[in-house]
Structure 1
Amino acid sequence: MPVKKKIYNRIKSVLAEKNKTNIWLADQLGMNKTTISKYCTNDIQPSMETLFAIAETLDVDVRELLVKTK
């Protein structure tokens, strides 16, 4: 039985809502496209500093990038 991957962030969803791509985000932040792709698929999680930079770049509250726990 496959293990269900835990989703921690909503970066991919917010990018879609803003009609932006992960390549655009990587260019804006000066980061590697592969790293941003891994954030979008929840394979790895960004640091707090990076999460805040992503929120600023997307012009959203940083809390919109996180999956609610309650």
Structure 2
Amino acid sequence: MDKKVYNRIKAVLAEQGRTNKWLAETLDRNINTVSKWSTNKMQPTVESLFEIADALQVDVRNLLISTKKES
């Protein structure tokens, strides 16, 4: 069974040349939590998603996989 991917946190971090460790330190969160977010093993709360977007200086929508199908 394919694992569902809901967020793009790992991709956005990579695009910016940043690491899970940087994000964990910036948000004062446990590195294991950030790692689970990045690998889609666990999803951040909506509040955390906005904090992540703020730290990465991106629109929160850039952190999510679109549900709209391309035609």
* TM-score tier (shorter): over 0.9
Stretches of 4+ aligned residues off by more than 2 angstroms? none
- TM-score normalized by structure 2? 0.95
Task: Give structure 1 stretches of 5+ with no counterpart.
Answer: none
Identity of aligned residues (%): 57
- TM-score normalized by structure 1? 0.96
Letter in 2 for 1:15: L
C-alpha deviations, 1:13-64, integer Å up to 9, x for none? 0000010000000000000000000000000000000000000000000000
Number of corresponding residues = 68
Task: Give structure 2 stretches of 5+ with no counterpart.
Answer: none
Q: CA RMSD in A?
A: 0.3
